[in-house]
Amino acid sequence: MTEDKLKEFRRRIDVIDDQILDLLNRRARIVVEVGKAKQGARGDFYVPSREKAIYDRLIHDNAGPFPDDGVRRVFREIISASLSLEEPLKVAFLGPQATFTHVATMQQFGQSARLVPQKSIPAVFDEVARGRANYGVVPVENSNEGIVNHTLDMFFESDLKIIAEILLEVSHDLLSISGDLAAVRKVISHPQALAQCREWLEENLPHVSLVDVASTALAAQLVADDESAAAIASEQAGSLYGLKVAKHKIEDNPNNFTRFLVVGRNTPSRSGNDKTSIMFSVKDEAGILYRMLEPFSSRGINLCKIESRPLRKKAWEYIFFLDLEGHIEDVIIREAVEDLRQYCQFLKVLGSYPRVR
Ligand SMILES: O=C(O)C(=O)C[C@]1(C(=O)O)C=C[C@@H](O)C=C1
């Protein structure tokens, strides 16, 4: 390419960038007005259903060649920065920095929100309940390893609502100071991450010792001081602690997703494609399992998930967690839940929120 041609292309890019910037400022001025309008009403500043509608519409209409994934990331940051003009958001997450929960929280809230790591799942709930954070993010299940009991147990005591779900594709890297696989004598990680890479470890590092720690990010931090150790953690944890990748993507099942919940103090209104989570315990009677599902099947309501946990106060009694398609403001959902209530000793609606696939 001649120098002149390159100059001309760059001039054209500058003109377009100026237009984009002008449009961003015009958009931001409108968002500020939206924020003022919300101040009077009860409305939340953060509206996950509206954000999802924006991404879905733009990706659907994207003619390319700008990649769909790029559209989402760019608009994620535009909305995050715009929202910070309405109200700077503070989001508590299960830390430390660079855990998968941190990555999921950044994916959901963008870089302009203030993300504050917490030491435990109860601490995340506590920050939100006391109003020190607007929202909290915690893991709830992994596609290979199942449910995070700690999170479900929190809903026994907490009155916080689930306001959104986040689905994150989890990919594990083997990280060390040198990036040399042959130097590894010990592999450190969270037990779930070790479990998700079990076959790869048996095949490629059969004689190393495996060490459990509280988080993948802590593993990366420890490895930064130990030449003979490697951590299984996210790429982000590797760059935070200056580690090299000894092997990229070592999870046994590449189809590895973790679902996170965003908790807040109010339930968002309908988006048209929602999910409702409830928890309940039933009386110990013959045929009860069949009857507790009948209010949903008779109305054709799709159940996405059912989990049970032992009720700690009483042996052999269980609490059920049910996710169903629809919003608690939908008449049919409300009626089904009220129908179910007659068989329950206890029932609580945990929240209705936009469904993510
Ligand atoms: O539409 C709103 O309610 C807004 O506040 C605007 C906006 C946006 O930038 O488009 C910002 C934050 C919300 O989470 C959703 C959308």
Closest CA to 128 of 263, 268, 259, 260: 263
Q: How far is the CA of 239 from the centre of ligand 1 (A)?
A: 32
| 79 CA: nearest ligand 1 atom | 9
pTM of the predicted protein model: 0.88
> Exactly one of 93, 100, 125, 260 is catalytic; which is it?
260
Same domain, 147 and 180: no
Task: Assign residue 144 the CATH number of its domain.
Answer: 3.40.190.10
100 given a catalytic annotation: no
Same domain, 139 and 204: no
* pLDDT reported for residue 315: 66
Contact assessment for residue 113 and residue 84, using Cβ atoms and an 8 Å cutoff: yes
Tell me if 50 CB under 6 Å of ligand 1: yes
Instruction: Give the C-alpha distances (Å, rounded to integers) separating 336 from 86, 106, 175, 341, 346.
Output: 38, 36, 50, 9, 15
**Domain presence at residue 269:** no
Tell me if 51 CB under 6 Å of ligand 1: yes
Q: How far is the CA of 86 from the centre of ligand 1 (A)?
A: 9
Same domain, 40 and 20: yes
| Best mutation site among 38, 51, 77, 89 for ligand 1 pocket (most ligand atoms within 8 Å of CB) | 51
Same domain, 160 and 179: no
**Number of domains present in the structure of the chain:** 4
* pLDDT reported for residue 316: 67
Same domain, 143 and 185: no
105 given a catalytic annotation: no
| Best mutation site among 32, 46, 47 for ligand 1 pocket (most ligand atoms within 8 Å of CB) | 47
Mean pLDDT, consecutive 10-residue stretches, the chain (357 aa), reads: 91 98 97 88 83 94 95 96 91 92 94 95 96 96 82 91 94 95 95 93 96 93 95 92 95 91 91 93 82 93 90 76 95 96 91 91
Element (H, E) at 176: strand 173-176
